[in-house]
Amino acid sequence: MATARQPATAQQPATARPPSVDRLARSLASTGLPHAVLVDVARRAIADGDGADAVPRAQALAQSLVLGLLQPVVNGTGVLLHTNLGRAPFAVRLDARYRTVEFDLTTGKRGDRAGHAGRLLAQLCGAEAALVVNNNAAAVLLMVAALAAGREVLVSRGESIEIGGGFRVPEVMEQSGARLVDVGTTNRTRVDDYARAVTRPGSDVALALRVHPSNYRVEGFTTSVDTAELVAALPHSVPVAYDIGSGLVDAACPWLPDGPPSWLSGEPAARQSLAAGAALVTFSADKLFGGPQAGVIAGRADLVARCACHPLMRAVRPGVVVLAGLQELALAYLRRDVSEIAFWSMATTPVLDLRRRADALAARCPTASSEPMESLPGAGSLPGVTIASYGVGLDGDHLVALRSAAPPIIARVRYGRTLVDLRTVSAADDDHVAATLDALPPAEP
Ligand SMILES: *Cc1c(COP(=O)(O)O)cnc(C)c1O
């Protein structure tokens, strides 16, 4: 019996003519990539070598393009705000309709971009007004530029920090056109240090800026000021702004039925900072607030208005997708509906629930076992804090196989075992995780 012919492409001699670009592109259609993209892939694969391996090269190129697309994944790392996975998990639901971004339905005239999400955020923080920009780095830059360009900003040496990704307080000052005045020392700064900086000869202080050193801790012989003390020690002409970073809007967490979890303790919050006298707070919307990437400036209406009409505002203003998402999220907070806030739902799921899910998963996959784990807040927030959790573990390193599931599952390996922490996995994905774990090939020894 004659053997079936090999596919024309599989074992061609090196001298064979390369396949036609169009045919090669069409053979990759199952990747789902548009034909124009596949034609480009085919051209590159043919140009990059001799005809013999154009097909596998094109397949590899197409595959890497598919993997390079932004796509949803199952986060089994236990890191709640995973910077590489977009920080907070957040649903976007928008149809192709016009929206009242700057339109007032009451008057039929031009409206205010800060009138919807901004107003709700202000209410959440107990602020007179709030402004949304593209991220917190932009919030700090805009605030300092609007309130202190050409003048001085006081910053404690212990808070003159770098947040990951190149956000460095001294460089933000430089970009804003304000002059940084260092106050105190790295480990100890007192209220008097600020007061003396204001009264020293020739001073021109426009703002005192506190910055939450989100991602590190100074321990031992340290002193730092609290907001109320600082406000009391400075003249009214020097407002205190506080970059709280993580976006905890209220330390009392009224949206959580059981109140704030113990691991949050000590994290500065917008409402309490403003109540203590801060004129403005700035924070990220995609850290502990659990929203899309955005930054918020909240506080005194006159100062927020100065930020809003600064020329930089045009360069850092968010679009309708972010504004709509933040509005929905702010409404969920105000309704105290934690089921609509994915980040807080995951962060506060009782360990017992996670354990039950882990037990059920382990029962379905003979190689996996249910075990206690420790989740992390992530995004440089709350360094050193861990949150008790449960998940499943398997012997060996299965990261590559898990990443090739659809949707990909991102896990971690510790001491030669693959761990999937269920705190960051939606219960709706448990079936997918179970089926993927069950189908894993044996781990590499
Ligand atoms: C995270 C953080 C920033 C930067 O915020 P982005 O939203 O990432 O731009 C700035 N300041 C503090 C204190 C932070 O924690």
pLDDT in tens, 108-146: 999 998 889 999 999 999 999 999 999 999 999 999 999
pLDDT of residue 9: 46
Of the listed ranges 146-160, 165-179, 284-298, the least confidently predicted one is 165-179
User: Which residue, chain included where needed, has tokens 């085919």?
Assistant: 42
Q: How far is the CA of 297 from the centre of ligand 1 (A)?
A: 12
Angle between helices 54-68 and 35-47 (to 10 degrees): 130
Among protein residues, the one with the nearest Cα to ligand 1's atom 14 is: 245
Q: How far is the CA of 379 from the centre of ligand 1 (A)?
A: 9
**Is the per-residue pLDDT at 1 higher than 60?**
no
Q: How far is the CA of 163 from the centre of ligand 1 (A)?
A: 6
DSSP 8-state secondary structure symbol assigned to residue 292:
S
pLDDT of residue 19: 75
Beta-bridged to residue 152, according to DSSP, are: 179, 205
> What's the mean pLDDT in 378-385?
83
More confident residue, 195 or 224: 195
**Is the per-residue pLDDT at 7 higher than 70?**
no
Beta-bridged to residue 74, according to DSSP, are: 409
**Is the per-residue pLDDT at 445 higher than 60?**
no
pLDDT of residue 2: 39
pLDDT tier at 444, thresholds 50, 70, 90: low
Percent of the chain scoring above 70 in pLDDT: 95
Beta strands in 220-294 (DSSP E): 240-245, 280-284
Phi then psi dihedrals of residue 148, to 5 deg: -145, 10
**Is the per-residue pLDDT at 16 higher than 90?**
no
Tokens encoding 382: 């709350």
**Which residues are within 8 A (CB) of 333 and not within 5 positions of it... i.e. 6 or more apart?**
124, 249, 255, 341
pLDDT of residue 437: 96
- The residue to mutate among 171, 214, 286, having the most atoms of ligand 1 within 8 angstroms of its beta carbon, is 214
pLDDT of residue 161: 84
Percent of the chain scoring above 90 in pLDDT: 82
Spatial CA neighbour of 139 closest among 263, 289, 277: 289
pLDDT tier at 340, thresholds 50, 70, 90: very high
> What's the mean pLDDT in 62-89?
96
Neighbours of 85 (CB within 10 A): 17
Ligand 1 atom closest to the CA of 244, numbered from 1: 13
Could you tell me the sign of the dihedral formed by the alpha carbons of 232, 233, 236, 237, in that order? negative
pLDDT of residue 93: 86
Q: How far is the CA of 311 from the centre of ligand 1 (A)?
A: 22
pLDDT of residue 315: 96
Q: How far is the CA of 264 from the centre of ligand 1 (A)?
A: 17
Ligand 1 atom closest to the CA of 212, numbered from 1: 13
Rounded distance between C-alpha atoms, residue 162 and residue 170, angstroms: 9
**Which residues are within 8 A (CB) of 413 and not within 5 positions of it... i.e. 6 or more apart?**
397, 399, 419
**Is the per-residue pLDDT at 3 higher than 80?**
no
pLDDT of residue 290: 97
pLDDT of residue 92: 85
**Is the per-residue pLDDT at 35 higher than 80?**
yes
How distant, in Å, are the alpha carbons of 117, 242, 331 from that of 325? 9, 25, 10
**Is the per-residue pLDDT at 6 higher than 70?**
no
**Is the per-residue pLDDT at 363 higher than 80?**
yes
Q: How far is the CA of 172 from the centre of ligand 1 (A)?
A: 12
> What's the mean pLDDT in 2-26?
62
User: Which residue, chain included where needed, has tokens 């980040």?
Assistant: 343
Rounded distance between C-alpha atoms, residue 32 and residue 28, angstroms: 8
Tokens encoding 68: 């390079």
With beta carbons less than 8 A apart as the criterion, state whether 160 and 186 touch.
no
Rounded distance between C-alpha atoms, residue 191 and residue 208, angstroms: 11
**Is the per-residue pLDDT at 213 higher than 60?**
yes
Which residues, judged by CB distance below 6 Å to any ligand atom, belong to the binding site of ligand 1?
Answer: 135-137, 163, 167, 211-212, 214, 243, 245-246, 284, 295, 380
Ligand 1 atom closest to the CA of 293, numbered from 1: 7
pLDDT in tens, 241-291: 999 999 999 999 999 999 999 999 889 999 999 999 999 999 999 999 999
Q: Rounded to 5 degrees, what angle do the CA atoms 338, 341, 345 make?
A: 65
Rounded distance between C-alpha atoms, residue 325 and residue 291, angstroms: 7
Q: Please report the DSSP string for 334-373 in residue order.
A: HHT-GGG-HHHHHHT--HHHHHHHHHHHHHH-TT-EEEEE
Rounded distance between C-alpha atoms, residue 300 and residue 242, angstroms: 13
Among protein residues, the one with the nearest Cα to ligand 1's atom 13 is: 245
Say what the pTM is.
Answer: 0.92
pLDDT of residue 15: 53
Beta strands in 38-172 (DSSP E): 74-75, 79-81, 129-133, 152-156, 162-163, 167-168
pLDDT in tens, 411-432: 999 999 999 999 999 999 999 9
